[in-house]
């Protein structure tokens, strides 16, 4: 199956898939090696990793697309790419969807924030009007359908951040219209309690995604409860980035004191990056041994 077909199959299962989010090719590779069924390229983490800057709309479409390509080249599990606001008007949204599909993403997230967008759990975010939000999703769905006619496939994850500025009712109404327009997965960002999460899932059709930011506004609930609430995917956008940054800071501080903290064994490091596979394959060719 293609990555999109695999994702479609996963969404039909009666479970809530734990989805650690990646930020580059190596983090995606580790997620796949540990047996996770899918991943998401976190805009927050990718911006931090690629340009060392906050997720405030600073990464360009070309930079994001290049990051998607690197990740899909490194792993075969389905990748959901963060398409932000689509990088412009409805026609830009269509181009963004087409670009992500060509790069190998199984799905793309399009949101209703006002550009430049912000991380969903940080202050200052605002959303566009209903009409503009609906146009973005309509354009994304139209491009998805046009791609299918060309034997290319991608799913649309439609996100609303309206809870922050206009309340949960507005967010649910927007998401319901996203579903009517043909979105494949719905994402109401930052509900603030388990009750709000349940209201989201009972009010909306189809697969829903929860976004769990440690220390963020949405409760960090056990996966069994998320499944009971009605979520199909639980995304953890910052867990790996935070763990990697903490490990690097700890190591840097220890090295300053001439200490060597525990770290991954060199043989395991080489194997996970792919040295062993490379040598096994290159052994078939004489010239590669020189």
**DSSP per residue, 65-104:** HHHHHHHHHH--S-EEEE-TT-SSSHHHHHHHHHHHHHHT
Q: How far is CA 153 from its chain centroid?
A: 17
Per-residue pLDDT tens digits for 164-175: 999 999 999 999
Cβ-contact 185, 144 below 8 angstroms = no
Residue 159: what are its φ and ψ, rounded to 5°? -115, 140
Cα separation, 80 vs 109, in Å, equals: 7
Q: Is 111 helix (H, G, I), strand (E, B) or coil?
A: strand
Residue 232 pLDDT exceeds 90: yes
Q: 3-246: what fold? A: TIM Barrel (3.20.20)
Q: Over the chain, what is the mean pLDDT?
A: 95
Give 287's pLDDT tier (boundaries 50, 70, 90): confident
Residue 57 pLDDT exceeds 90: no
| Residue 260 pLDDT | 87
Cα separation, 278 vs 230, in Å, equals: 42
| Residue 120 pLDDT | 56
**Boundaries of CATH 3.20.20.60 in the chain?**
3-246
Per-residue pLDDT tens digits for 245-275: 999 999 999 999 999 888 999 999 999 999 9
Q: Give the count of beta carbons closer than 10 Å to the beta carbon of residue 5.
A: 12
Cβ-contact 205, 232 below 8 angstroms = no
Cα separation, 23 vs 255, in Å, equals: 26
Nearest to 11 by CA among 70, 80, 75: 80
| Residue 286 pLDDT | 77
Per-residue pLDDT tens digits for 92-141: 999 999 999 999 999 999 999 998 776 656 666 899 999 999 999 999 99
| Residue 264 pLDDT | 92
Residue 13 pLDDT exceeds 70: yes
């Amino acid at each position: 199956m293609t990555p999109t077909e695999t994702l479609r199959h996963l969404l039909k299962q009666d479970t809530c898939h734990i989805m650690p989010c990646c930020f580059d090719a190596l983090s995606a590779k580790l997620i796949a090696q540990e047996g996770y069924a899918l991943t998401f390229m976190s805009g927050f983490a990718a911006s931090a990793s690629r340009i060392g800057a906050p997720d405030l709309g600073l990464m360009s479409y070309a930079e994001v697309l290049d990051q998607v390509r690197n990740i899909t080249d490194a792993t075969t599990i389905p990748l959901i790419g963060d398409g932000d606001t689509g990088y412009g008007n409805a026609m830009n949204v269509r181009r963004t969807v087409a670009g992500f599909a060509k790069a190998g993403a199984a799905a793309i997230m399009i949101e209703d924030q006002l550009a430049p967008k912000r991380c969903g759990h940080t202050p200052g975010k605002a959303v566009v009007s209903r009409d503009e939000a609906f146009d973005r999703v309509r354009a994304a769905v139209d491009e998805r359908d046009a791609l299918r006619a060309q034997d290319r496939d991608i799913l649309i994850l439609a996100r609303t951040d309206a809870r922050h500025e206009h309340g949960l009712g507005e967010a649910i109404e927007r998401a319901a219209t996203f579903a009517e327009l043909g979105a494949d997965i719905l994402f109401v960002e930052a509900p603030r309690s388990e009750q709000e999460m349940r209201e989201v899932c009972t009010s909306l059709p189809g697969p829903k995604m929860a976004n769990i930011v440690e220390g963020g506004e949405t409760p960090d609930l056990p996966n069994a409860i998320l499944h009971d609430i009605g979520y199909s995917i639980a995304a953890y956008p910052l867990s790996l980035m935070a763990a990697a940054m903490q490990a690097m800071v700890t190591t840097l501080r220890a090295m300053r004191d001439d200490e060597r903290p525990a770290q991954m064994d060199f043989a395991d490091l080489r194997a996970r990056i792919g040295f062993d596979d490379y040598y096994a394959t290159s052994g078939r060719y004489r010239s590669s041994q020189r």
